[in-house]
Structure 1
């Protein structure tokens, strides 16, 4: 099994161009990155197959869609109840995402609602899960750093070449 994909400068340039102009086609990406169109196509296919490009969906802003009240909720759950909690959370549309974590709590969720009463109702619904022992919520006031990936990908140094040095006789 192959390890994680190693990204080079061409990959980073393509991902940056695609992030800045998500509707750009292969030809436009080829021009903006100064890379051959066939290279763009093969690189994008490789990035998608490796899961680096997770999807081609638009990025949706829940606040702009009217769900301005957002919170993070940590859950302490019963031992061995992860599947039940996952099903309970998946059944609540206001739960945008949930992650299994280490530390004092077992699960971290992000939720969004239209109002504070709806937030309260959502928190009560989460707490009604038989497997939730305790929950703690923290309101989001504003976004300090928006979700991002490119600075991380661009900051890593490429690994040294595995090619053996060429020697002259």
Structure 2
């Protein structure tokens, strides 16, 4: 990701529009925003290049795919082991959605999904099967009260 640059009002409006109506396309966005199609395309290219947006791909809901259980696993790993071996292993597990290094009692936070609780046990068993993980703690999400959101952050960045 490149050096942070500020967003302007048009960037914020474009991101908001694509977030709420991702199917709109460049031409539709230009009409909706009242700017030239080339301006929208240039803004999208710049936002992609800067890493502000990562893609124009659809957002997939694991629940709708048959994976209604979400859990967060804190993993402690052998310190002499590199993260790369474990990361490569985790990339091979389709139910692993995110992996973050963390501070605190563990080394990694892993978000996983499963079809049900017995399937969650299968996923956790896969996650820890390498011998690199020394300890794990898992919490199951009961309900999503607020989905991942970025629009308030985009608006704040455009105003600063």
Q: After the TM superposition, which residues 87-126 of structure 1 pair with which residues of structure 2 at under 5 Å, given as runs?
A: 87-126=88-127
Q: Which structure shows the higher helix fraction?
A: 2
- Structure 2 gaps, min length 5: none
- Which of 1 and 2 has higher RCO (CA within 8 Å, sep 6+)? 2
**Could you say if the C-alpha distance between residues 153 and 128 of structure 1 is closer, same or farther in structure 2, counting changes exceeding 3 Å?**
same
Structure 2 contact 69–114 (Cα < 8 Å) conserved: yes
- Structure 1 gaps, min length 5: 160-169
Greater Cα offset, 9-18 or 23-32:
23-32
Partner Cα distance (1:33, 1:157) in 2: 16
Partner Cα distance (1:25, 1:155) in 2: 25
Matched with 1:138 is: 139
What whole-Å deviation, never above 9, does each CA across 1:22-65 have from its counterpart, x for those lacking one? Answer: 01122211122222222111111111111212012110000011
Partner Cα distance (2:153, 2:55) in 1: 19
Partner Cα distance (1:151, 1:44) in 2: 19
- Please tell me the root mean square deviation across aligned C-alpha atoms, in Å: 1.7
TM-score where L is the length of structure 2: 0.91
Please give the secondary structure, in 2, of the residue aligned with 1:138: strand
**Could you say if the C-alpha distance between residues 2 and 137 of structure 1 is closer, same or farther in structure 2, counting changes exceeding 3 Å?**
closer
Q: CA deviation at 1:158?
A: 4.5
TM-score where L is the length of structure 1: 0.87
Partner Cα distance (1:129, 1:24) in 2: 44
Partner Cα distance (1:158, 1:104) in 2: 37
